[in-house]
Amino acid sequence: MTQTMNLDSKDFANVVHAGNSEHTPCRFCRSVGKRRFFTASERQFGMGDEFTYFECGDCGSLCINSIPTQLSKYYPSHYYSFARNDGQHPQDIGWIRRKLRAQRATFNMYGTGLLGALVQRLGTDYFRYPWRWFQVAGVTPTSAILDNGCGGGALLRALRDQGFTNLSGVDPFIAESISEPNLKITKGEIFDLKGTYDLIMFHHSLEHVAEPARYLAAAAEVCAPGGAVIVRIPVADGYGWREFGEYWFALDAPRHLAIPTKKSMADLGVHCGLVLESSICDSESVCFWGSELYKRGIPAVRPDGQDTITADQPFPESELEFFRQRAREINAVDDGDLAFFLFRKPGAKA
C-alpha cells in the first residue's frame, strides 16, 4: 500500500522500504528507494480528481505513482496545445516569400545576410518564439526539424511561415495525421517514425510520458550525428515546487507524469548517449498567477474553454507585471520552475 503524507513534511523516512514490489521506479533515475508520497488534484479544468505522486528520495524528481487508465479524459478538445495556428499561417506562402523569409530567419538566428537584414527591417514579423532556441541548436531553414508532442502544430506552422521547409511533428493525442506543404504531422509516437532529424524538440511534452527515458533514447536514435535535442520541461528543484507545492501550476496532475530536477534531466540525456551543451531557466509569469489561481481553488481553464486569466481578469495589470518581474528574477538566479536543455548527439554533421 502506498501512503499519502502531509506535503509540509520533508521527511522521507516513513515510506515503504526499498525493494518493495509495489514500488514504481522513479521515472527518471529508476530508484525504488525512499520517496515521499503526496496527493495532487486536477486543477487546470477544475475536475478535482486526485492522484498519488511521489518525490524521489534519490534524485528529487516528481512522479505520478500509477498511470491513470483513462488519461485521454484529461486532454479535452479545448486543451491548449491542440490549437492549429493563430490564423496568420497560411499553408503556402509562395516560393519568393519563402526564400526571403528564410533569409530573414537566418539573419534573426545568426545575424548574417544583408538581404535577411533588409527583409527584417521592411517586413512584418509575426514570429513569437525565441530565435535563440534555433540558433543554439545550429539549424538552418532547410534543416529537418521534428517537434515531438506537437499538438496541432502551431510552432511548426509558425516556422513554415518563416521559410522553413522540412518540418515534422508527432503527437498521439491529435485527431488525425496531417500532410501539408513542407509539413507532416503524424498521429502516433516517435517510435513510429523512420526519418533522421537535425533537431528534435520536446516543448513541454517529455513530462507527459510515463517513461521519459524511452522517448529521449528514441530522439537520440533519430537525431543526425552533430544534431540537437531540445527539452523544455518543468523542473522540481526550482521556485515553483518549493514555494507552491501541490498548487504549483506546472505540477499539472495528472497530465504531467514525471518532472525531473535539473540534474536528473541532464543525467537522463547522458544515459541516452547525448551530451548536455547548455541549460537555462525559462519560467514565465504563469508560475505565479497560475499557482495563485490554484491556491484560490480557481481552474486555469473555464468550462466554456476560455482561459480564466483573460476571460475573468482575476489580477490587476500591476500584479501581472509584478509576476512577470518575479519570473525574470527567478530565471536570473537559475531558480526557475521551467528549464530549457540543449543536448547534442556526438559526431560530425554530414
Binding site for Zn ion (CB under 5 A): 26, 28-29, 31, 56, 58-59, 61
Smallest distance from the beta carbon of 51 to Zn ion, in angstroms? 18
Smallest distance from the beta carbon of 32 to Zn ion, in angstroms? 9
The C-alpha atoms of residue 135 and residue 50 are separated, in whole angstroms, by 41
Smallest distance from the beta carbon of 61 to Zn ion, in angstroms? 5
Of 28 and 164, CB closest to Zn ion: 28
The C-alpha atoms of residue 35 and residue 15 are separated, in whole angstroms, by 6
Contact of 345 with 276, CB cutoff 8 Å: no
Smallest distance from the beta carbon of 278 to Zn ion, in angstroms? 23
Of 31 and 66, CB closest to Zn ion: 31
Other CB atoms within 10 Å distance of the CB of residue 121: 9
Smallest distance from the beta carbon of 107 to Zn ion, in angstroms? 43
The helix (H) or strand (E) run that includes residue 168 is strand 167-171
What residues pair up with 200 in beta bridges, in sequence order?
Answer: 146, 229
Spell out where 189-324 has E strands.
197-203, 223-234, 258-259, 275-281
Q: Which residue has the cell 547522458?
A: 270
Smallest distance from the beta carbon of 235 to Zn ion, in angstroms? 13
Of 236 and 281, CB closest to Zn ion: 236
Helix, strand and coil percent figures for the chain, each rounded to 5 = 35, 20, 45
What's the longest Cα–Cα distance across the chain? 66
Of 58 and 189, CB closest to Zn ion: 58
Of 59 and 105, CB closest to Zn ion: 59
The helix (H) or strand (E) run that includes residue 219 is helix 212-222
Of 59 and 102, CB closest to Zn ion: 59
What residues pair up with 187 in beta bridges, in sequence order?
Answer: 171
